């Protein structure tokens, strides 16, 4: 006797009902997705944006766009550009001009020139068409050295000196707070230092805050200001390195004037505290200078 197929009453209707419910749930899910798409870069509840899509084609298009945006952000590429990110070019070494190289050829780099010969050579290798500044770069035996020197012929630059006293302090502080600093040096009476502290954050980084170590705090500030105007300058080593940089004049000075300024500075620092000295002017190569007899 063959097998008899038995069907349960109502099973086909129940299966059809479940199928229709599943189809409705799927259509509802698609409709909800059609109005929402993930936008990369948003946070929390902001990540979903209403877009108003009505078809599966639009949904897929928006989904692909979202994926492309995420990919572009991960790779560092702007949306809408298919160009690959170009590798950074290596920075080229600075190339010196022909004139600079020609000037270098005139210097014997193994030789320490006496100051008079060094100044004559400096004029030959000067590369500027203006009155260049004459500079000294001094390597010392230690850090923390500082002092002042009166250069007999000044630096060639007119120094604007402000004097802070009980009568002038309010005006100086007010102008500095507004960003107006119309001086190259500031000398103060001790009694006004409390008020000057209000603008220390502006003056300090520029090296203009009065300091007893360089003599710019004095009970007789007018006398100090006069010395500064006549050519007294402060010198000190760098914070992290035993090096002093100082201007001793202009190329328009006579050789004798530059020699006398040079001698005054060496005397102020002390020969025993100096390792080496390089002389140069604006944009020129350096010349090693002999500073001992």
Closest CA to 210 of 254, 256, 164: 164
**Does the structure show a pLDDT above 80 at 185?**
yes
Average pLDDT, stretch 202-206? 87
Average pLDDT, stretch 149-178? 90
φ and ψ of 111, to 5 deg: -100, 145
Q: Where are the alpha helices (H) located in 76-196, listed in sequence order? A: 98-105, 115-125, 169-177, 193-196
- Contact between 206 and 181 under an 8 Å Cβ cutoff? The reply is yes
Condensed to tens digits (0 to 9), the pLDDT of residues 17-35 reads: 777 778 778 777 766 655 4
Tokens 């790779």 belong to which residue? 75
Which class for 124: exposed (0-12), middle (13-18), buried (19 or more C-beta within 10 A)?
exposed
The least confident of 61-75, 120-134, 231-245 is: 61-75
Of residues 163 and 90, the one with the higher pLDDT is 163
- Contact between 34 and 59 under an 8 Å Cβ cutoff? The reply is yes
The least confident of 77-86, 137-146, 231-240, 241-250 is: 77-86
The DSSP letter of residue 273 is G
Condensed to tens digits (0 to 9), the pLDDT of residues 31-69 reads: 665 545 444 444 444 444 444 444 556 555 555 655 554
In whole angstroms, give the CA distance from residue 279 to residue 26: 86
Q: Which domains does the chain have, with CATH numbers?
A: 11-75 (no CATH), 88-159+231-293 (3.30.190.20), 160-215 (3.40.50.790)
Q: Where are the alpha helices (H) located in the chain, listed in sequence order? A: 11-34, 56-75, 98-105, 115-125, 169-177, 193-196, 200-203, 221-229, 255-269
DSSP string, 165-217: -TTTHHHHHHHHHTT----SEEEE-GGGHHHHGGGHHHHGGGT-S--GGGT-B
40: Cβ contacts below 8 Å, ≥ 6 apart: 66, 69, 70, 73
Residue 168, number of CB atoms within 10 A of its CB: 15
């Amino acid at each position: 006797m063959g097998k008899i197929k038995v069907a349960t009453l109502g099973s086909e209707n129940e299966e059809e009902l479940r199928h229709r419910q599943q189809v409705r749930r799927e259509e509802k899910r698609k409709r909800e997705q059609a109005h929402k798409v993930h936008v990369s870069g948003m946070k929390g509840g902001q990540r979903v944006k209403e877009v108003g899509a009505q078809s599966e084609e639009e949904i897929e298009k928006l989904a692909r766009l979202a994926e492309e945006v995420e990919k572009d952000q991960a790779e560092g590429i702007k949306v809408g550009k298919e160009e690959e990110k170009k590798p950074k070019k290596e920075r080229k070494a600075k190339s010196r001009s022909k004139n600079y190289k020609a000037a270098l050829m005139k210097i014997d780099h193994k030789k320490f020139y006496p100051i008079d010969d060094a100044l004559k050579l400096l004029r030959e290798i000067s590369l500027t068409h203006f009155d260049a500044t004459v500079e000294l770069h001094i390597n010392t035996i230690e850090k923390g050295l500082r002092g002042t020197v009166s250069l007999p012929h000044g630096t060639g630059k007119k120094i604007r000196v402000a004097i802070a006293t009980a009568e002038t302090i309010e005006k100086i502080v007010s102008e500095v707070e507004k960003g107006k600093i119309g001086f190259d040096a500031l000398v103060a009476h001790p009694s006004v230092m409390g008020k000057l502290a209000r603008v220390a954050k502006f003056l300090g980084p520029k090296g203009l805050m009065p300091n007893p170590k360089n003599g710019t705090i004095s009970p007789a500030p007018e006398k100090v200001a006069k010395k500064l105007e006549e050519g007294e300058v402060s010198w000190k080593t760098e914070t992290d390195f035993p090096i002093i940089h100082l201007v001793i004049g202009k190329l328009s000075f006579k050789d004798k004037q530059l020699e006398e300024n040079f001698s005054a500075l060496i005397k102020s620092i002390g020969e025993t505290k100096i390792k080496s000295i390089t002389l140069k002017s604006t944009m020129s190569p350096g010349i090693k200078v002999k500073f001992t007899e």
